[in-house]
């Protein structure tokens, strides 16, 4: 890709981001996701002090959005979205 996913993820700070990265996904290598999250975490944590707004889950599944993870993402979004 002609861009750095770590930079893109870091540029989203301090906005809330939920990442679903299944460990058996055959479309994406989960280690790359982990690397990007680790690279962006200092921006969320040290610069903006919003570490809780960057959430990554790594379910033991294939390329899918399992119901339990989907519910977790909805709770995450409900927590951080402004419902005015």
Structural element, H or E, at residue 38: helix 30-42
* Range 46-51, long-range pairs (CB < 8 A, 24+ positions): 47/13, 48/13, 48/14, 50/13, 50/14
Distance CA 5, CA 57 (A): 17
The reported pLDDT for the residue numbered 37 is: 98
Query: Which tens digit of pLDDT belongs to each residue from 39-58?
Result: 999 999 999 999 999 999 99
**Any idea where the domains of the chain sit in the sequence?**
5-80
Q: Residue 24 class from Cβ within 10 Å (0-12 exposed, 13-18 middle, 19+ buried)?
A: exposed
Question: Which ranges of the chain have pLDDT less than 70?
Answer: 1, 84
Element (H or E) spanning 44, and its range? none
Query: Is pTM, for the whole model, over 0.85?
Result: yes
pLDDT score at 62: 95
């Amino acid at each position: 890709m002609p861009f750095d996913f770590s930079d893109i993820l870091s540029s989203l700070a301090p906005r809330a981001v939920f990442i679903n990265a299944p460990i058996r996904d055959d479309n994406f290598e989960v280690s790359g996701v982990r690397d990007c999250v680790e690279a962006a975490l200092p921006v969320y944590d040290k610069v903006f002090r919003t570490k809780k707004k960057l959430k990554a889950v790594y379910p033991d599944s294939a390329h899918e959005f399992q119901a339990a993870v989907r519910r977790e993402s909805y709770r995450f979004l409900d927590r951080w979205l402004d419902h005015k």
